[in-house]
Amino acid sequence: MIGRRLKFILVAVCGLSAATACAQKYPERRIARQGNEAYNDGEYSQSEIKYRKALDLDPALQEAQFNLGDALYKQQRYEESAQLFARLAADSLASDAIRAASFFNEGNALFQQKKYPEALEAYKSSLRIDPTDMEAKFNLAYTKKMMEQEQNQGQGQNQNQNQDQNQNQNQDQNQNSGDQSDPNKDSENDKRNPNDRRPGSKNPEQKQGDGGEPKVDRSEAERMLDAVQGEEDKTREKVNAKKGAVVGRSGKNW
């Protein structure tokens, strides 16, 4: 099971003494906070309405954009959610914290659509910004596991199809041979007791968790995480070698 906890951003709150003046000066923030309250109460459609109203007043309000993506996700509107987080992650004006969290949530929305390669890239992008996010590392490793499972299932289906085709061809050949040698002779299949027939072979049952997803034990997860970390370290070394010097970003963390 992937870590499905969505990142969430709190809207900046004014001091109590200046609450009225602040609400009048920044009505979009007051409405966005109302959206947060509705979201926390599980009223996701209502929170969506509040976030959209806040964005009508201030389209650049990043915390409303971000939390709107969460509200869409909670309503299982995964495609819309992924698109919104992708736009926010690509915003050069967004802080690193918001971009990393946006890539993470985009990965979750893509995972729910079973778009595993795209989800994998989103988690990688999140980790390039915040290499310490263990939840993103685990989700990346788990997504790799799902991709391997799909590939193995596809190979197994092709093998079963080939086996079925070969069996059908052999049966046709045997029937034709029997008809030519003695057309009055009952076939072996007609003599056989129907209760003796056996179904075809199946693939071994895979261990699964909730929702039919494969389980990943701790040792396997740690091994995959080590591999992921090694890949990210190599990528980071190449990037640093090309950049020469790293310039710190400025930006507000909400």
Model pLDDT for residues 58-95, shown as the tens digit of each residue: 999 999 999 999 999 999 999 999 999 999 999 999 99
What pLDDT digit, counting tens, does each position of 200-234 carry? 323 323 334 444 444 555 566 666 666 666 666 66
For residue 101, give the nearest of 8, 209, 173, 163 by alpha carbon.
Answer: 8
User: Does position 193 have pLDDT exceeding 90, yes or no?
Assistant: no
Query: H or E stretch including 18?
Result: none
Query: Residue 35 in 3-state DSSP?
Result: helix
Cα 138 to Cα 97: distance, rounded to the nearest angstrom? 19
What pLDDT digit, counting tens, does each position of 129-150 carry? 999 999 999 999 999 999 999 9
Cα 121 to Cα 128: distance, rounded to the nearest angstrom? 10
At 168, list the tokens.
């059908």
Q: Which amino acid is at 148?
A: E
For the question of whether the overall pTM of this predicted structure is more than 0.85, the answer is: no
Q: Are 78 and 113 a contacting pair, CB within 8 Å?
A: yes
What pLDDT digit, counting tens, does each position of 106-133 carry? 999 999 999 999 999 999 999 999 999 9
Count CA atoms within 13 Å of residue 215 on its CB side: 9
- Structural domains in the chain, CATH included, are 16-132 (1.25.40.10)
Q: Which amino acid is at 39?
A: Y
